[in-house]
Chain A
């Protein structure tokens, strides 16, 4: 009923190739964007921005990048945290070493160097796959952790190994308040999401998916595995690198390699698996699930305790948070192994027929 497509005729190839073929989707997304840009900054308080929305946006971006590699090209990677770290540290180096470099250039340079590192660590994917590749990319994680802790050049010879940035501005727009930071992240996320959506619909996206589904068959029909795999590594690392740069520059302001530890790699992989492999929407769902749920539980559980007159200790809350979080992951994966994005599309399907299911 809500998704009735009657009367929506496509009379040109252009119309047939739109990202959102259904008019409701198009309008829905525009409304959502308008709310995100105009309404949210008016309604939401600082805590929501700094602790929830900004991390959510940045990690969605990182999850998008990981999804390109893992979801679309089928190359399991445990090195995403490392590529984020490369993005953050190289953006930092560009920013402090080149006088007067624009912020955007610095952030993108983080992505550029992450691309190089990502492609380098993607070379083994030409020979190994699956779990073996996951272990090979793990090397990227350990190597980058080591490099950023030990090599003084990366941290501008800072004695403690922690770096920080400040006075961020773009063409006179000082990125200072939470709203500024939020809008900057939102702009990056929207741009990259549209870009990736188009990329995966194009020839190169189809090559990635062919490689994912059956690499031998893909090679037989004329797809070059070298090109497809390395390009997936490149695109993925670029986006993850930019996300890393944003995480350091915008969210933390000051960071150490521990901010991009192996936990971060796992977190990103979980986002893709829970959100939905090979789905743009899924990256957002996954990030929301992984970022927001623990924070929500952390505040929700004591509130429930108060309701029944029980005061729950901090440690108990923290432990319960892990248990409930784990249980929910298992539950979601049993209910829908294809991730939250699949739930979303099932919901849409139901809405088409509602209220007269057949």
Chain B
């Protein structure tokens, strides 16, 4: 090897290090509210991650097309996590330095890691419909916002729906319910609640884990074939969901006895299975596929009509796209609430935005004005309640699209509240935190 070659190799490495230093110190410009966007457009969960990311980005673009947030333009930057925790932490550190308003980790693992970091950096975390369930307790988790519901809410509503279908909670006695779950913190989140419900109503709960990424389910479905549970709850994500449906088809397990969590009931999960998934249900926190919603018409008109839309036009308004939109809307509305207090037309810091998320009051007229009419119900948060609402519906796949098959249902506060408080207290004790005092609520 020549010295010249060596010098080239060395200079490549040096350029790399210097570029890293250079890019990391670039700051967002003034008068722009910066929203970091953690996404995964590659990797095992990409088919589901892409529509979410498209919806999220499209909503931010839409706010700009509407003239910004009281005149403040929104800027954003995507960072690819690939659903890996360490990459997510790297993204967080990179985008934090650019004046991030709020992070939405989009992964339970990353949420857990960032929960430790957010209080020190004073950046709020929104985990709309996912994340750690006990973080609904604002008294301990000052910076976490599981807006619109948690996995405990989803699990509770599922059991309520099943009880209704059976004709009352007393009919659940002696029934067998199997939980097929993604073997990660995401999949394990609902277990405490289901165990609580199982003890209360006398059904047996069998836990059937499926390892990442979820294509290996033969053994799981063999067990289902043997035990013949009355219901199967599918706590999956990505390729795991369509695999579960295919396995159910092969096993001959009735699809209408299968219930997905709200991450397991979108078009990418069922469309490959098509007719075979007919009758499959999924609980949806707030929204479903809303192709007719006013906000979707606006997106098609103002963005896709002008060639500025993100992703394919056909996916606009589908379940995961809507989830992206709703998450972005919550992120933006919190900043709007903060502006009402700290000054309209100003760029909010993470700390000010946190106040906004804590005092979010999305009433029905406000939602209608934003174009979310019929998509979701009002959300209002407080110092103690960082969840805001716990409403869900069940939709069913008819072979071509999803139809609503239940009314709005609300999770049972009598069960969830004490569990949240106990888990939050345990967390506080482990971390040697004290509950926030009343005076802290005003800040």
Contacts and interface: CB of A to CB of B under 8 A. Distances in A.
Interface of A: 44-48, 50-52, 55, 96, 145, 149-150, 159-162, 164, 166-167, 176, 251-256, 258-259, 261, 288, 292-293, 295-296, 298-300, 303, 313-315, 317-319, 335-336, 343, 346-347, 350, 354
B5 interface: yes
The 3 closest A-B pairs by CB, nearest first: A315-B41, A253-B116, A160-B185
6 contacts: A46-B97, A160-B108, A160-B112, A164-B112, A167-B432, A258-B109
A292 B132 contact: no
Interface in B420-443: 423, 430-432
Given A52-B20, A166-B431, A167-B431, A314 B113 contact: no
Contacts of A47: 24, 93-94, 96-97
Contacts of B211: 145
B23 A343 contact: no
B23 A256 contact: no
A48 B21 contact: yes
Contacts of B209: 149-150
B270 to A, nearest CB: 23
B219 interface: no
Most buried by A among B20, B89, B97, B212: B20
A343 B113 contact: no
A346 B6 contact: yes
Contact of A292 (B5, B16, B432): B16
Given A45-B97, A50-B93, A51-B94, A296 B20 contact: yes
B149 to A, nearest CB: 17
Contacts of B17: 292, 296
Contacts of B6: 343, 346-347, 350
B20 A255 contact: no
Given A149-B183, A317-B80, A335 B188 contact: no
Contacts of A295: 20, 90
B20 A314 contact: no
B365 interface: no
B442 to A, nearest CB: 26
Contacts of B3: 347, 350, 354
Given A292-B20, A295-B90, A303-B23, A252 B42 contact: no
A256 B17 CA distance: 30
B108 to A, nearest CB: 7
B94 A160 contact: no
Contacts, number: 141
Interface string B65-97: 000000000000011101011100110011011
A51 B93 contact: yes
B19 A254 contact: no
A298 to B, nearest CB: 7
B20 A256 contact: no
Nearest to B191: A159
Interface in B179-231: 183-185, 188-189, 191-192, 209, 211-212
B55 to A, nearest CB: 14
Nearest to A292: B16
B78 A343 contact: no
A254 B115 contact: yes
Nearest to A49: B93
A300 B24 CA distance: 11
B89 A161 contact: no
A252 B188 contact: no
Given A46-B97, A159-B192, A303-B19, A318 B41 contact: yes
Given A47-B97, A149-B209, A167-B432, 16 more contacts: A44-B21, A45-B97, A47-B96, A55-B86, A162-B185, A164-B116, A251-B86, A253-B116, A254-B112, A254-B113, A256-B109, A299-B94, A335-B5, A343-B1, A347-B3, A354-B3
Nearest to B5: A335
Contacts of B53: 314
A44 to B, nearest CB: 8
Contacts of A46: 93, 96-97
Nearest to B9: A343
Given A159-B191, A350-B6, A256 B112 contact: yes
A318 B82 contact: yes
B20 A252 contact: no
B412 to A, nearest CB: 19
